[in-house]
Amino acid sequence: MIDLLTLETAHYMGTALRDQYRFRYKQFVMREKWDVPSYRGMEYDQFDTPAAAYLVWRDDEGSVRGLVRLLPTIRPYMTESLWPELIPDTGAPRSPDIWENTRFGVDGDLPAAVRKQVSAELIVASIEFALSQQISAYLIVSPRAVLDRTLPRAGLRPEVQKSAVLASGHAVSSAYVQVSEDVLVAVRRRLGLTHAILRHYEQEQRHAA
């Protein structure tokens, strides 16, 4: 399962909010050598605001081992603020039905089969979240290998917009990924996931009450 974590729901989920920052430090600062802010072993940036939503995969001990961060484009987001060279020709989106999908990561210490499963669940959960929020598309920035191979293998069709080499030396492209009920059905079928993946703790607590 993938848990939906926000500032408003973090109190239902123990240390998950802190742990996702620690996971990001391990994944992006230690493993991938990103030059990004960190504090006491936690990676963060200016986009970790109350508007951000995090999809987290946790192991049996409750540790965050997989993550994606989702940002509404009606608030400040990375592509618009940091990477003008990757903004689509149609302009930087600012719409409630387009969100930015960032910080996708799966713990490299997990066994290969588990990493594959976590990645699949994060993709499906991203689509489920989109449909629950009336989101029609994600804007993502990613290496071309992900756009050309990984996402198409999952049944998605990235629409590549711009390519650039960032100051960090990473070669990336921006792309739109359209989401819909039909896309969810196709991706679930391709990845072998037949049931809902995303868990909303706030809804569960409300129903329990």
pLDDT, one tens digit per residue, over 46-83 is: 999 999 999 999 999 999 999 999 999 999 999 999 99
- Cα 64 to Cα 17, 49, 54, 158, distances in angstroms: 9, 19, 11, 27
CATH annotation of 2-202: 3.40.630.30
What's the confidence (pLDDT) of residue 204?
A: 54
Looking up tokens 């492209």 gives 173
C-alpha–C-alpha distance, residues 139 and 178, integer Å:
9
**pTM of the predicted model, to two decimals?**
0.93
**Beta carbons of 174 and 146 less than 8 angstroms apart:** no
pLDDT band (50, 70, 90) for residue 3: very high
